[in-house]
């Protein structure tokens, strides 16, 4: 258990945070406005309000997965880097009793089944949703829950790159992803070499600047995402 807790000091995850943080972001000579597909680097200025809460979905079981251990480590580093005062909230159906004990030892709040529903996450503060490799339908649910101009302005999603979704079925099983992509600024995470490159591959930070108007969308042909069953 102690070995897992000390993973918060994992070097690769600290490297990601160091590359994501922008020490010169207030210096106009170093600012670079990002567009969809840009990588996060020290010269990238991410236009987002101050994050006040961190919610983790889809990390899985740190007891049984090395990838999950690295992802949990990154969540802890993000909390420190962003100076988030509230506890990290975490939920995953794969979490074991040991996972729950580890999360509590790390001063995280483990969401129960009802609390974990996107519709029950408080939206009166800016929330960073850390969702590595979650089902596309879950991203869509988060977007739908916050689908107002004020709601999206308080939403930051670190998860699969929305721009990598292009199949027609996405429009039916996750109908809010394509409309969100039209108004999002997407910043891909820097490439970090791991023994298993499926830890942080294809992840990006998504923010939704308030100057973009919400596009129209049609959910009349919505289907259930089979990954959510």
Q: What is the CATH number of the domain that holds 65?
A: 3.40.50
pLDDT at 192 > cutoff 90: no
Mean pLDDT computed over 123-140: 93
In a domain, residue 221? The reply is: yes
Domain range enclosing 149: 50-228
Q: For position 197, what pLDDT does the model report?
A: 73
Q: For position 82, what pLDDT does the model report?
A: 92
Domain count, the chain: 1
In a domain, residue 75? The reply is: yes
DSSP 141-190: HHHHHT-SHHHHHTEEEEEE-GGG---HHHHHHSTTHHHHHHH-EEEEPP
In a domain, residue 22? The reply is: no
In a domain, residue 32? The reply is: no
Q: For position 39, what pLDDT does the model report?
A: 53
């Amino acid at each position: 258990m102690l070995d897992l807790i000390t993973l918060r000091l994992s070097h690769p995850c600290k490297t990601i945070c160091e590359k994501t943080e922008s020490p010169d972001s207030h210096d106009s000579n170093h600012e670079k406005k990002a567009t969809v597909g840009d990588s996060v680097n020290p010269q990238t200025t991410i236009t987002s309000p101050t994050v006040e809460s961190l919610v983790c979905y889809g990390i899985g079981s740190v007891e049984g997965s090395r990838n999950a251990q690295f992802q949990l480590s990154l969540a802890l580093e993000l909390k420190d880097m962003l100076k988030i005062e509230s506890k990290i909230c975490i939920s995953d159906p794969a979490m074991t009793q040991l996972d729950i004990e580890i999360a509590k030892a790390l001063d995280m709040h483990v969401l129960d089944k009802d609390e974990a529903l996107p519709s029950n996450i408080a939206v009166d503060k800016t929330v960073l949703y850390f969702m590595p490799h979650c089902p596309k339908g879950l991203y869509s649910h988060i977007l739908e829950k916050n689908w107002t101009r004020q709601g999206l302005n308080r939403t930051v999603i670190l998860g699969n790159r929305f721009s990598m979704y292009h199949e027609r079925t996405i429009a039916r099983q996750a109908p809010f992803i394509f409309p969100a992509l039209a108004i999002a600024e997407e910043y891909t995470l820097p490439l970090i070499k791991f023994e298993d490159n499926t830890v942080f591959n294809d992840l990006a930070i998504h923010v939704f600047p308030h100057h973009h108007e919400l596009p129209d969308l049609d959910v009349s042909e919505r289907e259930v995402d089979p990954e959510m069953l």
